[in-house]
């Protein structure tokens, strides 16, 4: 039985993070990940305030989801404006979602000082908006913004805002600690009062400005809240929202409150990392449960203890969330994780063989140079093939020369000349492109087509750059990750260099070699 409702706001409140900006196609990828994981609600955007979000809803409405309900988010009508004339409210309808979330003010201070309207008009705004949406067949979540701060200063008014939402037919009421300054006992006490008073689904929406968003969400659940709002990796403005990647295992494995299927929970670490890749945000290595260090044991005594009994220093088995134990001082580090991939290449190699050690050493050497094979499994497989002596390069680069001109000539600013050799035969060719990497990419495929017609089947589908050690400014190392597809399979490859062209070239070669080595 399912006891809790998970409400993800990565695409709405999470998108308010500084430095995060999702494209429409990023958003669609994240919806697919969340739906597959089994989140109940996906608050996917604010169609009224953001034209990109409207475009997203137009595309997503044509897709069907397996597990999740999409939610369009917007505010109550403006003061002194009839609800049917409010552009924001209308755009909520245009999103054509079954569910909508409407936020309204529950703190009298915000009504008077920020909205600058009367307390009564604010109540009307809440009532009218929800009532209007209910009459149009929507399921409505009411987000009571600043509810807790409001309750502390004027409990009667804060509760009145909930009452009108309830009377207007809200299907659920979510209590927001919008400033993120509440303490756990306050959250518990206030939530309890609301749960005792209203018989609809009560939710919690916590922010992390005092570092207690996770604890506050848990306390609200202990007080009877059923809906938990948060974001993947805790993205959100200022200090972020409550982190679902922490809350879900806390509830499921420590409190016995089921959030998603156990086998889906095993994908939590991957989900966290995929979303951070899409957001182009460095993953938090210290993140509870899903961080790279969450189960890393450094001190000799701790490692020893974990080898005797993992319960000694681990709050759960890392496999439950798809993470892994890392024994930092020990030679066995990482073998378990690696062996699975090694066995795809050669099923006869076991964990303790010399070959595994050799691969592990090579991997460590590459990682010290800035390589990271998580998210670049194509390159990892090639590295394994190379270390095992099973790799046969399909071509040899003799030289390339990339030229970038400013001003551009006939709208083309980059061109690449390339000379390669395949089985003693040379080929020289050239191509123009949108930037130097694009020119180089086109040139190398053109040169190879004569020898390997199958390179026509593949295309690059994603290209990401991250600057490592960015303090070295334009001489810093960059890590390029390329994703390619041939329709049947998608693979990722990596290159690292102080020169972005060189890093891109390394990743491009791996991408092509992966395809050609599949045969």
Shortest distance in whole angstroms from residue 509 CB to a second copy:
11
Q: Are 165 and 142 in contact (CB under 8 A)?
A: yes
Tokens of 110: 């915000």
Beta strands in 161-291 (DSSP E): 172-177, 201-206, 227-230
Burial of residue 151, with CB atoms counted within 10 A of its CB: 0-12 exposed, 13-18 middle, 19 or more buried:
buried
Pairing of strands 425-433, 490-497: unpaired
Q: Which is nearer to a second copy, 38 or 436 (CB)?
A: 436
Minimum distance from CB of 116 to a second copy (Å)?
8
Nearest residue (CB) to a second copy, 33 versus 294: 294
Alpha helices, H only, 256-388: 262-265, 268-278, 300-308, 335-345, 354-368, 377-387
Closer to a second copy by Cβ: residue 139 or 251 = 251
CB of 73 to a second copy, least distance (A): 12
Dig out the tokens for 344 from the structure. 């795809």
How far, in Å, are 103, 129, 150, 492, 507 from residue 464 at the CA level? Answer: 36, 42, 44, 11, 11
Q: Which is nearer to a second copy, 172 or 448 (CB)?
A: 448
Say if residues 356 and 349 touch (Cβ distance below 8 Å): yes
Give min distance, CB of 218 to a second copy, in A.
Answer: 7
User: In 3D, which of 409, 415, 440 has the Cα closest to residue 503?
Assistant: 440
In the complex, least distance from residue 98 CB atom to a second copy, rounded to whole angstroms = 26
Query: Please, which residue, 131 or 233, has the CB nearer to a second copy?
Result: 233
Task: Name the token pair of 397.
Answer: 């680069």
Is residue 237 within 8 Å of 15, Cβ to Cβ?
A: no
Nearer to a second copy, 160 or 477 (CB): 477
Cβ-based nearer residue to a second copy, 56 or 166: 56
**Least CB distance to a second copy at residue 166 (A):** 25
Closest approach of Cβ 489 to a second copy, in Å?
A: 16
């Amino acid at each position: 039985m399912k006891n809790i409702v998970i409400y993800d706001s990565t695409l709405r409140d999470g998108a308010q993070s500084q430095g995060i900006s999702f494209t429409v196609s990023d958003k669609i990828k994240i919806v697919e990940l969340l739906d597959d994981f089994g989140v109940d609600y996906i608050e996917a955007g604010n169609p009224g305030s953001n034209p990109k979000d409207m475009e997203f809803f137009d595309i997503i409405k044509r897709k069907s989801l397996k597990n999740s309900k999409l939610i369009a988010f917007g505010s109550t009508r403006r003061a002194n404006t009839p609800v049917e004339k409010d552009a924001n409210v209308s755009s909520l309808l245009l999103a054509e979602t079954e569910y909508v979330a409407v936020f309204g003010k529950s703190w009298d201070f915000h009504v008077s000082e920020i909205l600058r309207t009367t307390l009564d008009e604010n109540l009307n705004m809440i009532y009218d908006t929800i009532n209007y949406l209910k009459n149009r067949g929507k399921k409505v979540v009411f987000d009571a913004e600043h509810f807790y701060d409001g309750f502390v200063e004027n409990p009667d008014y804060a509760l009145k805002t909930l009452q009108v939402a309830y009377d207007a037919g809200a299907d659920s009421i979510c209590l927001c600690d919008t400033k993120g300054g509440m303490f756990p006992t306050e959250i518990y006490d206030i939530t309890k009062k609301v749960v005792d008073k209203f018989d609809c689904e009560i939710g919690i929406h916590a922010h992390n400005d005092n570092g207690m968003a996770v604890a506050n969400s848990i306390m609200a659940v202990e007080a009877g809240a059923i809906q938990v709002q948060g974001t993947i990796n805790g993205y959100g403005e200022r200090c972020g929202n409550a982190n679902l990647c922490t809350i879900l295992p806390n509830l499921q494995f420590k409190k016995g409150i089921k959030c998603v299927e156990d086998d889906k929970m095993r994908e939590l670490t991957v989900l966290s990392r995929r979303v951070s890749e899409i957001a182009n945000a460095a993953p938090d290595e210290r993140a509870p449960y899903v961080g790279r260090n969450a189960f890393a044991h450094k001190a000799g005594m701790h490692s020893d203890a974990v080898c005797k009994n993992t319960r000694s220093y681990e709050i759960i088995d890392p496999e439950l969330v798809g993470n892994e134990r890392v024994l930092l001082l020990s030679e066995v580090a990482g073998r378990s994780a690696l062996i699975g991939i090694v066995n795809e290449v050669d099923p006869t190699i076991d964990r303790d063989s010399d070959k595994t050690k050799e691969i592990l050493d090579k991997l460590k050497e590459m990682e010290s140079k800035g390589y990271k094979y998580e998210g670049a499994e194509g390159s990892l497989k090639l590295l394994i093939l190379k270390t095992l002596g099973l790799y046969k390069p399909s071509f040899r680069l003799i030289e390339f020369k990339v030229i970038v001109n400013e001003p551009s000539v006939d709208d083309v600013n980059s061109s690449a000349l390339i000379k390669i050799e395949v089985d003693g035969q040379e080929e020289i060719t050239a191509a123009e492109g949108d930037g130097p990497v694009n020119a180089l990419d086109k040139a190398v495929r053109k040169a190879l087509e004569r020898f390997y017609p199958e390179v026509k089947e593949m295309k690059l589908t994603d290209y990401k750059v991250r600057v490592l050690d960015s303090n070295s400014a334009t001489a810093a190392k960059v890590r390029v990750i390329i994703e390619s597809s041939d329709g049947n399979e998608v693979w990722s490859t990596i290159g690292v260099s102080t020169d972005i062209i060189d890093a891109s070239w390394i990743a491009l070669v791996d991408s092509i070699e992966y395809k050609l080595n599949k045969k």
